[in-house]
Amino acid sequence: MTTYTVFDNDFEEHAPHSHLTLEAAFAWVMGSCGYQHRFERRTTSYVLSVWDLDRPDMEPREELSTFADNVEARRELMLRSLDGRFKGKMALLDDEFQVRLHKALAHLDREADEASAADVQRVSGNGTWGRDVPDDVAPPGMDAPTPLGALE
């Protein structure tokens, strides 16, 4: 069975939901947006009408299917609604979501490693302050060290 993970742009606020059928993923997107929807038969195709329950004065948004068959049209319209067009809510196949998530985490790890390496380089003497700085020079914001001979 094909399953989806739904998520939005704000991972901190809304954790992804996995292992949802297409219908459940579509329902999650519609519900989390506060939208009501209806599939309607037109002369040669089907339309998904979506309206915001908080703004009943607005005209419904309509998405037209390219299919004349009811099952194919509904599937196409549900899949299309999972691409982020509704308030940034999206869904990917579970496997695709995991692949992209691991790539994103690996990218963040590389950035953290590079930032850490730059900090170590700066402190170790290969950067601004370190063992190759003369003894009578202090880092910015600090007093220069007192020479040992001056303490006697």
Say which residue, 41 or 139, is predicted with more confidence. 41
pLDDT digits (tens, 9 = 90+) for 138-148: 556 566 555 55
| Residue 38's pLDDT band (cuts 50, 70, 90) | very high
Mean pLDDT, the chain, rounded, equals: 81
Mean pLDDT of 113-117: 77
Mean pLDDT of 112-129: 64
Say which residue, 141 or 3, is predicted with more confidence. 3
Report the candidate in 38, 27, 30 with the shortest Cα–Cα distance to residue 62: 38
Say which residue, 121 or 85, is predicted with more confidence. 85
- Is it the case that residue 26 has pLDDT exceeding 60? yes
Instruction: List the beta bridge partners of residue 38.
Output: 49
pTM: 0.65
Mean pLDDT of 47-75: 93
Q: Give burial (CB, 10 Å; 0-12/13-18/19+) of 77.
A: buried
Say which residue, 47 or 19, is predicted with more confidence. 47
49: which 2 tokens?
């009408």
